[in-house]
Structure 1
Amino acid sequence: MQHIKIRTPQFLPDKLQPWFAMTELAFAQSKIHDEQTKFAITVNALDARAATAPEDAILRPPEERLYAAVKTVLLTRMRKALNQDIRQVLKEEAIGDRTPSAFWKHLRGIVNAEELSDATLKHIWLDQLSSMVKAALVTRKKDNMQNLLEIACKVHATIGNPQKGLHGSL
């Protein structure tokens, strides 16, 4: 068996189409055309989360078109997983007893900025805040997210502490 040197790009689970395009360019530059070799290189490049998506294609690969099969499975299943994450953020997540900042971090832990923009996630986040916190933020549309988080947490802490009342220091 011949040892092949190839430099594959870092795996980009949120950008699978460009990642596959770059990987296929690396295959072409290295003159790799064999499906089994492409399959092995691709599977070895996956991170732990992504490797679970095509688990059956990895453990029981088809006899032909191994690379094409794992590519199709990855693209299909990773897209479904992303759609499920976005649906979860849109329909299932609630602030509960979290601070506004903790809730933002929680939402960002489910979907990253590549999957859902800050502007879109900000609307979802704002919908979950109390009316008092929203009122404090309404005039701050041009503030960056960090400033909004700080203001929201200060208002939230004041409202949540009956000793301070509504006239506590912000």
Structure 2
Amino acid sequence: MRKQRETVPLLTSVCTGSLVYAAAGLLRGRPATTHWLSPDLLAELDPTIDVRRDERFVDDGDIVTSAGVSAGIDMALHLLARLVSPERAREVREHIQYAPEPPVRAPATVHQVQTRVHNLRTRVPNLRTRRRGAQPPACPQFSYACSHLSYACSHLSYACSQLACPAP
């Protein structure tokens, strides 16, 4: 990641992809967000990160992070507006029929989210290590972050492929 960072003008992450950036030291002293189940882990990986728990995406110029999959779509549309034009972002939004109106509402407050996270972790305390019979890794935070990198990248690739816009 650090080598890639030297050659690209803009890095983006979706969901827990920001954990990989944090583990690589790319978010040191910067604002960032991640999936709502992982902000504590993001802060643990690098305490200098200004973790934005309530933001769907954080644009810090050359690094943009998003919270979850649908937040990744918001981020992609934001970047399209930033790099091409707001009009093009509106066209793409209409083309992919992205009009968020969730049939089920998520928790409204940080406290409700934290309670949900606590309840989830209490019910399934060893979820990370039980997958596919895996053994507990030597560095669980980094291993967990890496295991989600391909998941996050696939969602970002899909969102970007739906944009079908010319390069700026």
The TM tier, using the shorter chain, reads under 0.3
Which structure has the greater CA radius of gyration?
Answer: 1
Larger relative helix fraction: 1
Structure with more contact order per residue of length (Cα contacts < 8 Å, sep ≥ 6): 2
TM-score by length of structure 2 reads 0.27
TM-score by length of structure 1 reads 0.27
